[in-house]
Chain A
Amino acid sequence: MFDILFSSLGQLFTVSHLLYMMLGVLVGLVVGIIPGLGGIAGMSLLLPFLYGMEPTVALGMLMGLVAVIPTGDTFASVLLGIPGSSASQATVIDGFSLAKRGQAARALSSAFLSSMIGGLIGAIVLTGFILIARPLVLSFSSSELFMLTLLGLSMVAVLSGRDLFKGLAACGLGLLVGAIGMAPATGEFRMNFGLNYLYDGLPLVVVGLGIFALPEIIDLLVKRGAIASEPCKLGEGWRQGIRDVGQQRGLVARCAGIGSLVGTIPGLAGSVVDWITYGHAVQSARDKSEFGKGDIRGVIAPESANNACACGAMVPTLLFGVPGSGTAAVFLGGLLLLGLQPGVGMIETHLDLTYTIIWSLALANILGAALCLVLARPVASLTRVPFVILAPLITVLIMFAAFQATRATGDLLALGAVGILGVLFKQANWSRPAFLIGFVLAPGAESYFYQAVQFQGTDAFLRPGVLIIGALILAALFIPMLRSLCIKRRQASSVGAASTARAEPPTLGAIDVVLFVALLGTAAFAWMDVADLSLIGGIMPRLAIAILAVSCLLEVARCLTRRPQWQHQAIGLQGLWLVGFFALVAAMLLLGFITAATLFCLVFLLVIARLKPWVAAGMALGVTAFLVGMAEFLTLTYPSGLIDPWLFG
């Protein structure tokens, strides 16, 4: 046992292994930083070289890549508010808020440090755990998996705080949008309205970009100025971020632990873990008021979990040949190309390789995070640049990212459509994370529920694992409520009755009214569309519609009975920018992606940002070079239109 541990440790520090791992780390950082590419694009860059390579060296390279992807994408989430991949969605909420408050360097340095520590803890846990993981992984049946998705969903209540019904309505809409596509239980197609694009459902990348990134871009354009609205001290912030991690060691350790364990469960991994840990950070905090507005704990928690989760995801991939995440799925392909069949054999006959994998992960985590930490300070200065200069570049970047989801025209249109929703939600202060949680967890919740009932009947919900997770959910929902009740009573007894007990009235604005009408209309329309579905195939969309409609109606009722406080909600300028976005999409389809993107940047920088002509031209050419280079290196395609094929072949 120990001789194997040491021999694979020796393998790790050979020159060729380190060199190739460094290569993997660098590729991983580059594709991690560019949103929308993520692990799959990185793997496809490396896979062609894999066939025929020495397995230990090749594994080092692959692990270098896998390990740093959840690290690199933090740049985009924190600085630009773009969720680079599913692993960094929760980071966006507080990370980007911190950047807007001029604390980007702080958010980045603490994110990278907690990523590094999280990855190391994950690797250490994995070293011992992989030997005994098999029975534990198998003890998670479909019913426990269903309960875990419920645990993720219960975070909606934690995140939406005072506006519970709005949060629930957003989550219901997310569930409904997530139910578009094939019903897992019956193979029926739901709510695709005859559009081929919707047969597979909406891609997560597109929804994430539309709901978070697009509204932020528009908001910043309307407000003018730089991303950081307060003066930023990069150096001081950087050191502050390191100190923050030191102060939150307990949180880092707990979240890394949760991350590595949840990561081992095949089928869920990345999609719930950052929400569960974010929710945990909120719940365990005494002062919750800053969450969502830039609380460093909201960055530390998901970031320490997602690298640990990438380690944990190796367990099902190596032991069962069932990938725990999208990146792991591609890694599995890499293993097959190397002639390694994952399975029990990885422990029995290839234990040395298994440990090479685990420790490459640890080492690559350190390397990747160290590189990012060095980069964090200079890159954070981006937030001081007037946003109007960055806006066209970021817009092209998110459209590029969205189009890589399925390479269909629908990607760009869906980005715009979800973007409209995102802008409305943002302006009216509805919970966008709640929508995303619903969307991400809808397929899992549905298929695991169906499987649990089919496989186990009513026994499914009496299993000990189910009861434990159920208790956790109840605790998540009711402990904060009890605690606040306690505090209230204490205050009431000390200050005197009736002085503080009055709850604040609900707020209402024009967009709220529009959203109520639109969401109830959507509910009615969707209800008619799912009318023909079989009972099993239609139960999930119907449930989602019910959640959506009932919580909308309850909020309306609350507003009617409690005399709301009228709030001014601006939408005019935002609407104008949205129209501009769709015009850009149209231009891209007509002229071609590269041509339209270049022209758009040039015109925008000249007319709106009022840059000097040669600067604007240089930046526009940079965009062209980036797009052409990406197409060349990664064999990507763009909407070709009329002019692109003629200009760029």
Chain B
Amino acid sequence: MMIKKTATSTLALGRLKRAALVGLAIFGLSLTVSAQAQDAEVPGNIKWTIPFGVGGGTDVWARFFSPWLSKQLPGEPTIMIDNVPGGGSINGANLFAVRAKSDGSDWLGTSASTQYPAMLDDPRVRYDYSEWTPILATPTGGVVYAQPNLGENAETALEAMLAQPVKLAAQNPTGVELPVLIALDMLGADVQAVFGMRSRGEGRLAFERGEADIDFQTTSAYLSNVTPLVEAGKAVPLFSLGVLNDEGKIVRDPAFPDLPTFNEVYQELNGEAPSGNAYEAFRKFFASGYALQKLIMVPKDTPQALIDTYRQAARDFIDTEQFKQEAAAQLGPYTPVIGDTVQRHLDDAMSIDDATREWLADWLKSEHGAEI
């Protein structure tokens, strides 16, 4: 009896299960249909989280892009910029990682100072770049330059820089100057980095006051504030960091076609291309901090169709003459990178193998007394 009872009950259960399955399937189908129908629909309001303060570089960058994106997207959504500063952008990115909806209505704007802590396993970081998909990236370049008392042209200045200890004003050991510090070390320069600057601008002031022997600026600041110094004979450009081409190779910077890249200078000095752990670290931090300096990201679960819509919108406007004209003042002579190319470079940059990380930790400790 008992057995029979259980048998019927399992039978009943089986029938129920089947019915439920069918029901679920129908429900699921209708769900996916409705989901697909919604897919390409751009939300009316997009909240763009900027983990930096109002008026900062990334904020200005986002405010420059938002009308372009809004105009180009179907339905012209309202893009609302939400500044969440703190922790050098870690706080805002952490909040985004927890709260962002993946229906395409949440975007995040990141910068080198969001990427670096994630690469260095900062304990405060609770976000993960593999959880996000990039829409667009804008690159920047940078130039290292020296006081004219080191040498009147690049060659003599470089020689003098390698022969004596030189001072460089920087923000902190793991800040945006990190690849520059690695590059200078690889060239054999004895760089005494003075930390505690609150911006690259303060570093430039220290150079202009004659306190720092060498300095480094990213492209837009270099063009507006260092080029006049170079013309007045108060600064000598040494080399640029270069830019990353689509294949991931470092080539000459279109903003500074006459300046050799770090790679070229290294080759010239050592007779071989740079390699090894140090170069690996340089390349990764250069890629994530310069080649992909600022990124628009969305959560990975955002519907693919929507991601494609966003990317296409960006593609549509970056080729227009008007954009190019206005972007020249904001972004320098660089074209934004869009879609899968960004994903590829980003994946490559953010994955650091153990040997490189170990080298970096040792190097930071021994050269700059910093622990990571």
Contact = CB atoms under 8 A, between A and B. Distances in A.
B124 interface: yes
Contacts of A52: 67
Contact of B55 (A47, A406, A456): A47
Contacts of B167: 454-455
B211 A456 contact: yes
A141 B209 CA distance: 7
Interface string A21-54: 0000000000000000000100110011011100
Of B198, B208, B371, most A-chain CB atoms within 10 Å: B198
Interface string B205-221: 11011011000000011
Contacts of B56: 329, 333
Contact of B202 (A188, A267, A330, A336): A267
B196 A341 contact: no
Interface in A212-246: none
Contacts of A333: 54-56, 59-60
A138 B210 CA distance: 9
A460 to B, nearest CB: 10
B313 interface: no
B196 A184 contact: yes
Given A343-B224, A408-B86, A337 B60 contact: yes
Interface stretch (B76-84, B239-247, B289-297): B76-84
A342 interface: yes
A142 B225 CA distance: 20
A536 B64 CA distance: 41
A186 B55 contact: no
B369 A331 contact: no
Given A51-B64, A456-B211, A336 B192 contact: no
B114 interface: no
B195 A341 contact: no
A118 interface: no
Contacts of B59: 333
B60 A142 contact: no
A84 B209 CA distance: 35
Contacts of A47: 54-55, 63
Contact of A344 (B84, B192, B228, B370): B228
Contacts of A345: 224, 228
A406 B228 contact: no
Given A199-B87, A321-B201, A44 B54 contact: yes
A309 B62 CA distance: 30
Report the interface size class on chain B: 35 or more
A322 B204 CA distance: 9
A266 B42 CA distance: 45
Contact of A43 (B54, B91, B172): B54
A187 B194 contact: no
B205 A322 contact: yes
Interface residues of A, number: 56
A635 to B, nearest CB: 6
Contacts of B151: none
B174 interface: yes
A200 interface: yes
Contacts of A342: 224
Given A40-B53, A40-B54, A454-B194, A635 B86 contact: no
B16 to A, nearest CB: 37
21 contacts: A40-B53, A43-B55, A44-B54, A51-B64, A138-B205, A140-B209, A188-B371, A196-B87, A196-B91, A320-B208, A321-B221, A333-B59, A339-B326, A408-B91, A446-B196, A447-B196, A450-B194, A451-B196, A454-B192, A455-B194, A635-B82
Interface of B: 53-56, 59-60, 63-64, 67, 80-87, 91, 124, 167, 169, 172-174, 192, 194-196, 198-199, 201-202, 204-206, 208-209, 211-212, 220-221, 223-225, 228, 326, 329-330, 369-371
Given A47-B54, A341-B329, 4 more contacts: A51-B63, A196-B124, A266-B205, A333-B60
